[in-house]
């Protein structure tokens, strides 16, 4: 669903297609596509959902606009909690290793020259596989590149080179990533 005023969704309850409360929208982020879906949302899970479906995590559940069916008193999704938690409970491939999604989310990302480029916040899946990870750009880069501070850029899963000590390293330099984003995104 196209969302025109994402800030208006903060604090609204999120319900799945069966009417089960998932949590409340806590944060909004600009997507790499300003057309559609446009935004990512961080959902603060309620206690029952957190413990029953998401392994007790206290991290925000990322959803993007395409998950939203309608907005009214609540934000209604077009999927069930079971579908939402599929990727949360899946191991994420990181180079030669894997890591649990709840460790992967909010992990700092560095380029191959050890420059910090941002933090993993979300992912986009298609037909059961990760299509892109959502990289929340480091505020310094947002400032330098004159982008909003809540900008998420796509990170190709093939770029992940290593995961260790709660840090993700990619096999590209910052300049290579910037060129990739310029040629493939609205950047």
Question: Which of 65, 7, 71 minimizes the C-alpha distance to 31?
Answer: 65
- Residue 144 has which token pair? 């330098």
Say if domain 6-86 classifies as CATH 2.30.30.240. yes
Q: Residue 24: its pLDDT value, please?
A: 97
- Helix (H) / strand (E) element for 4: namely none
Cα gap 187→122, rounded to integer Å = 19
Residue ranges of alpha helices (H) inside the chain are: 47-53, 81-88, 101-104, 139-145, 174-184
Pairing mode of beta strands 13-15, 75-77: parallel
pTM above 0.75, yes or no: yes
90-184 matches 6-86 in CATH topology: yes
Q: What is the pLDDT of residue 34?
A: 56
What is the tens place of the pLDDT at every residue in 45-69? Answer: 999 988 888 877 888 988 888 889 9
Q: What's the pLDDT score for residue 186?
A: 60
* pLDDT score for 3: 85
Query: Topology of domain 90-184, per CATH?
Result: SH3 type barrels. (2.30.30)
Closest residue by Cα to residue 92 from 44, 129, 140: 129
Domain locations in the chain?
A: 6-86, 90-184
What is the pLDDT, as a whole number, of residue 177? 95
Ranges of residues in the chain whose predicted pLDDT is under 70: 33-37, 128, 186-187
Q: Is the peptide bond before 37 cis (omega within 30 degrees of 0)?
A: yes
Q: Which residue has the tokens 């310029």?
A: 182
């Amino acid at each position: 669903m196209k969302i025109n005023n994402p800030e208006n969704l903060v604090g609204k309850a999120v319900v799945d297609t069966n009417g089960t409360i998932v949590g409340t929208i806590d944060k909004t982020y600009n997507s790499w596509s300003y057309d559609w879906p446009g935004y990512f949302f961080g959902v603060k899970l309620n206690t029952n959902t957190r413990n029953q479906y998401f392994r007790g995590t206290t991290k925000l559940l990322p959803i993007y606009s395409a998950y939203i069916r309608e907005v009214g008193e609540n934000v209604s999704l077009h999927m069930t909690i079971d579908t939402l938690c599929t990727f949360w409970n899946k191991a994420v491939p990181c180079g030669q290793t894997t890591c649990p999604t709840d460790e992967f989310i909010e992990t700092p990302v560095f380029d191959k020259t050890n420059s910090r480029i941002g933090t993993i916040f979300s992912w986009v899946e298609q037909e059961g596989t990760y299509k892109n990870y959502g990289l929340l750009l480091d505020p310094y880069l947002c400032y330098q590149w004159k982008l909003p501070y809540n900008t998420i850029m796509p990170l190709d899963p093939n770029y992940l080179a290593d995961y260790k000590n709660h840090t993700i390293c990619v096999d590209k330099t910052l300049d290579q990533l910037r060129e990739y984003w310029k040629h493939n995104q609205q950047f």
